[in-house]
């Protein structure tokens, strides 16, 4: 009897705790273990720390605290789906799966559940078509934007003419790695370069064959769509065969300090596309240190502040927070639900002035999302690694993608998806 | 010679070097399987753990620093600048010996006479435990490992082989990574030491006796438990060598444990009980997968190496289940 009373009291207290404090629930599907942990930790720290900053400094968003629910996926698709299923009932507002594989699985599930997914710069590229993918967002840019921007940068390097040039894509042999192929093929038709595709199997610890081929063929440029150890090994092998590093350009998931530092001096000059600024020379970091780090509330040990993937996690959290704010303004409700969050994401508008207000002046391009465009502006800059200074710097401004090539591809792929899944595109 | 022939020779040469790297991992499996009949699933993680520990000693990292800082609100990460390479390697070997002793005391001792599958399952648990322990002790960030072994393409070899090409042909010389050459030399040295140890020392003979027949070895007074500690210690040292070589190439990170996946086809091919088998198996897999990728890969979209290694192993399983050098298993009913 005594035990029954105790159980009843515990249940009551749990229920009361659940109803008494309203909060904005944002699950963090993160990976701090497994082979991809070194990258996952940086992103997860940035994502969590930004919400901690908002809670500590501003009391949350619109007066409502943010509750981040961490769930470990180990970059494993099944675990990612389990995380989604186990946290969606908590009143989740948005998911940032941080994995193309998990995103593909969540597209139908989250759409059916009415919860938006923000696959920021990854996932299914054609989800940029909001008419078909009502709950999936991939702003500020997609893989196809990235491929097109890199080719634009190469065009600029080569004086506007790529005919007869050769470009090799070294890619992770997965759905993620294969994403840019179609765009690069279309762009090769347009610009007349020869495209060679070289796949690397997971995890990419051994790439001797691939780089011997590159050494034999001597392409003018090598692009990389890699992740985890594949990046470090590729950059090391490129340095070993003395490939000119300033002609080796990675996607934004092959652009972190983790990818270049192990290679040492050999990585000097390596380039990658960036979707946001680099380093910690932004006013927000003063607040981050004051309210989060020095207060002992950081998700990690604080050593990752300003690193590329920490910045990206923080950027992702900032975009989510701004969408919450937009939804609150639209509805007049502080404690929003996932449907309102989706509407907020679709109406998201961040200009240069707002970025400066947030302590992130010129950190990213202005963003405007709409019902038809969930991919955002599709802009990217080129960053380059300085091995002696151990830092990245942006060597270009934000460049626009070749919309004449990318947009028809998005329309084609999303239409095929709509037809396969009996989706009637929204009228917007 | 035509550049095509030279390119093929280059692929074979690099395949041999890659094969040696696979063999380094496979050797650890063979040592433990030979002495105890256990397929040690944790061998890849042992290589990772050894490499993490080595970097920790080299850089003066405080083990469990994150845990300590979290618990006590401190900000300690390093105790100093770290040890030089020699001392760091010696200390890592001591850690691997301590690990072997703990494995014997806490795991193997309790599983004597159990079915091989039980022991295999125990090593799976051990692998997960060690991966977590390594993470907790040294952190999950990627670490640069430098023990002074040179790396990168050899200029000398490029210059020498460039002259082999037919006059007028465009040929840049043959590529070989100096680190791979070092790995090959170290692997040869390792095999010689292991062979001498097992043939000419008392402990080595005891190891062979246990490998041949556990019960017979016990009856002549050989302590099975001591032998297990010795053999796991040696496997730990081999794991350290593999960890150094692979870690020097890609940095020390948790994907290093996945190199064990490349050792499995090598073991199937060479046999689970033969040290020369691990070397020859590694070389066959290395050359085979590189040549297949070179000739057939471009026709089928590439990335054939993992696939080819396992298909080749499967092919061998059909005709020679015990592997090239493995002991034929004859069971009388």
- HEC string for A200-254: ECCCCCCCHHHHHHHHHHCCCEEEEECCCHHHHHHHHHHHHCCCCHHHEEECCCC
| A157 shares its domain with A136 | no
- A181 and A314 part of one domain: no
Q: A296 and A233, same structural domain?
A: no
Contact yes or no for A79/A72 (Cβ under 8 A): yes
| B95/B89 Cα distance (integer angstroms) | 10
Average pLDDT over residues B44-65: 96
Arithmetic mean of pLDDT, B14-19 = 95
Question: Is residue A392 assigned to a domain?
Answer: no
Residue in A205, A210, A261 nearest the CB of B259: A205
Q: Hey, what are B19's tokens? A: 């094969």
Q: What confidence category does residue B218 fall into, taking pLDDT thresholds of 50, 70 and 90?
A: confident
Whether residue A219 is found in the same domain as residue A340: no
Regions of chain A short of the pLDDT cut 70: 1-21
Q: What is the DSSP letter of B152?
A: S
Domains of chain A: total: 2
Q: What is the pLDDT of residue A21?
A: 56
| Neighboring chain A residues of B256 at a CB cutoff of 8 Å | 205, 229
Q: Decide if A388 is inside a domain.
A: no
Domain ends where: A227, A247, A274? A274
The rounded percent of chain B whose pLDDT value lies above 90 is 67
Residue A395 lies in a domain: no
The reply to whether A17 falls in a domain is no
DSSP-H helix ranges across chain B: 3-36, 43-59, 65-72, 85-106, 116-138, 155-162, 178-200, 202-212, 214-219, 224-250, 260-270, 275-295, 297-300, 305-319
Instruction: Give the model's confidence band at B280: pLDDT under 50 very low, under 70 low, under 90 confident, else very high.
Output: very high
In this prediction, residue B332 carries a pLDDT of: 67
Q: Which of A344, A362, A316 is nearest to A120 (CA)?
A: A316
| C-beta of residue B154 within 8 angstroms of C-beta of residue B178 | yes
**CATH at residue A57:** 3.40.50.2300
* Mean pLDDT (whole number) for B108-116: 86
CA distance B230 to B223: 11
Angle between helix axes B224-250 and B202-212 (nearest 10 degrees) is 100
The C-alpha of B175 sits at a distance from chain A's nearest C-alpha, in angstroms, of 8
Residue B155 confidence (pLDDT): 93
- Domain limits for position A306: 22-141+279-378+410-420
- The verdict on a CB contact (< 8 Å) between A35 and B255 is yes
B residues 132-151 lying closer than 8 A (beta carbon) to A: 132, 135, 140-144, 151
**Average pLDDT score over chain B:** 91
Reply yes or no on whether the pLDDT at B37 is more than 90: no
DSSP per residue, A398-422: -EE--HHHHHHHHHHHHHHHHHHTT
> Does the residue A59 lie in any domain?
yes
Question: What is the pLDDT, as a whole number, of residue B184?
Answer: 92
Give me the helix-helix angle, B224-250 and B178-200, nearest 10°: 170
Do A232 and A292 lie in one domain? The reply is no
Pick from A199, A203, A264: CB nearest B303: A199
Residue reference for tokens 């840049």: B172
The b/e string for A210-233 (b: 16+ C-beta within 10 A; e otherwise) is bbbbbbbeebbbbbbbbbbbbbbb
- pLDDT per position as a tens digit, B143-202: 999 999 999 999 999 999 999 998 888 888 999 999 999 999 999 999 899 889 988 999
Q: How many CB pairs under 8 A join A and B?
A: 116
Chain A residues touching B14 at Cβ < 8 A: 208-209, 212
Whether B147 and B244 have beta carbons less than 8 Å apart is answered as yes
Same domain, A158 and A290: no
| Final residue in a domain of this structure, among A274, A307, A328 | A274
Cα–Cα distance measured from residue B88 to residue A56, given in angstroms and rounded to the nearest whole number: 43
pLDDT at B51: 97
Same domain assignment for residues A71 and A218 = no
- Please tell me whether residues A290 and A416 are part of one structural domain: yes
The Cβ of residue B106 has, within 10 Å, a number of other Cβ atoms equal to 10
Residue at a domain's end among A229, A245, A274: A274
Main-chain dihedrals φ then ψ at residue B74, nearest 5 degrees:
-90, 175
**Measured between CB atoms, which of B153, B259, B305 is closest to A209?**
B305
Residues A242, A285: one domain?
no
Mean pLDDT of B53-70: 93
């Amino acid at each position: 009897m005594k035990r029954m009373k105790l159980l009843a009291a515990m249940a009551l207290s749990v229920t009361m705790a659940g109803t008494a404090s309203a909060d904005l629930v944002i699950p963090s599907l993160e990976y701090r273990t497994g082979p991809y942990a070194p990258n996952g930790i940086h992103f997860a720290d940035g994502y969590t720390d930004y919400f901690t900053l908002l809670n500590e400094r501003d009391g949350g968003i619109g007066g409502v605290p943010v509750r981040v629910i961490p769930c470990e996926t180990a970059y494993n698709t099944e675990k990612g789906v389990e995380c989604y299923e186990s946290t969606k009932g908590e009143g989740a507002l948005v998911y940032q799966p941080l994995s193309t594989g998990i995103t593909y699985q969540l597209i139908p599930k989250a759409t059916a559940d009415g919860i938006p997914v923000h696959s920021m710069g990854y996932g299914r590229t054609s989800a940029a078509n909001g008419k078909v993918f009502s709950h999936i967002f991939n702003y500020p840019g997609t893989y196809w934007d990235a491929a097109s921007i890199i080719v634009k940068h190469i065009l600029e390097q080569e004086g506007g003419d790529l005919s007869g040039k050769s470009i090799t894509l070294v890619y992770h042999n997965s759905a993620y790695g294969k994403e840019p192929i179609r765009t690069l093929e279309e762009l090769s038709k347009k610009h007349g370069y020869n495209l060679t595709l070289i796949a690397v199997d997971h995890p990419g610890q051994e790439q001797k064959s691939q780089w011997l081929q590159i050494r034999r063929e001597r392409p003018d440029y090598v692009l990389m769509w890699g992740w985890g150890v594949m990046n470090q090994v590729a950059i090391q092998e490129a340095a070993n065969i003395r490939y000119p590093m300033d002609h080796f350009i990675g996607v934004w998931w092959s652009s972190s300090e983790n990818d270049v530092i192990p290679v040492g001096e050999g990585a000097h000059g390596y380039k990658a596309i960036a979707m946001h600024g680099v380093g910690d020379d932004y006013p927000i970091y003063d607040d981050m240190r004051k309210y989060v780090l020095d207060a002992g509330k950081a998700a990690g040990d604080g050593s990752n502040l300003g690193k590329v993937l920490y910045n990206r996690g923080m950027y992702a959290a900032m975009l989510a927070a701004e969408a919450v704010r937009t939804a609150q303004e639209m509805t007049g409700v502080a404690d929003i639900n996932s449907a309102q969050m989706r509407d907020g994401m679709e109406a998201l508008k961040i200009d240069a002035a707002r970025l400066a207000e947030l302590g992130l002046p010129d950190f990213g391009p202005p963003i405007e999302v709409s019902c038809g465009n969930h991919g955002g502006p599709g802009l990217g800059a080129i960053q380059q690694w300085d091995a002696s200074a151990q830092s990245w710097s942006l060597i270009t401004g934000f460049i626009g993608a070749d919309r004449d090539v990318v947009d028809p591809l998005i329309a084609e792929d999303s239409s095929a998806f709509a037809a396969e899944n009996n989706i009637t595109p929204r009228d917007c | 010679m035509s550049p095509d022939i030279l390119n093929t020779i280059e692929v074979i040469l690099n395949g041999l070097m890659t094969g040696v790297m696979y063999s380094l991992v496979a050797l650890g499996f063979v040592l433990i399987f030979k002495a105890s009949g256990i397929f040690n699933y944790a061998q890849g993680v042992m290589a990772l753990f050894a490499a993490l520990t080595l970097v920790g000693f080299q850089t003066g990292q405080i083990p469990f620093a994150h845990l300590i800082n979290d618990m006590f609100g401190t900000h300690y990460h390093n105790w100093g600048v770290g040890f030089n390479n020699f001392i760091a390697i010696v200390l890592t070997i001591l850690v691997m010996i301590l690990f072997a002793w703990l494995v014997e005391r806490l795991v193997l001792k309790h599983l004597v006479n159990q079915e091989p599958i039980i022991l295999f399952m125990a090593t799976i648990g051990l692998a997960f435990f060690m991966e977590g322990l390594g993470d907790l002790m040294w952190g999950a960030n990627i670490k640069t490992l430098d023990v002074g072994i040179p790396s990168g393409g050899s200029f000398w070899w490029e210059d020498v082989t460039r002259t082999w090409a037919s006059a007028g042909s465009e040929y840049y010389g043959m590529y070989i990574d100096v680190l791979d050459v070092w790995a090959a030399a170290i692997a040869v040295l390792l095999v010689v030491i292991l062979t001498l140890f097992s043939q000419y020392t008392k402990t080595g003979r005891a190891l062979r006796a246990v490998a041949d027949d556990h019960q017979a070895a016990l009856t002549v007074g050989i302590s099975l438990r001591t032998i297990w500690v010795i053999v796991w210690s040696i496997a730990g040292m081999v794991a350290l060598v593999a960890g150094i070589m692979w870690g020097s190439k890609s940095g020390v990170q948790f994907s290093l444990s996945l190199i064990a996946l490349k050792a499995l086809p090598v073991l199937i091919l060479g046999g689970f009980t033969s040290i020369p088998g691990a070397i020859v198996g590694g070389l066959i897999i290395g050359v085979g997968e590189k040549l297949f990728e070179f000739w057939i890969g471009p026709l089928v979209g590439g990335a054939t190496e993992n696939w080819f290694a396992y298909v080749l192993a499967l092919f061998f399983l059909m005709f020679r289940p015990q592997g090239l050098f493995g002991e034929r298993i004859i069971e009388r009913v």
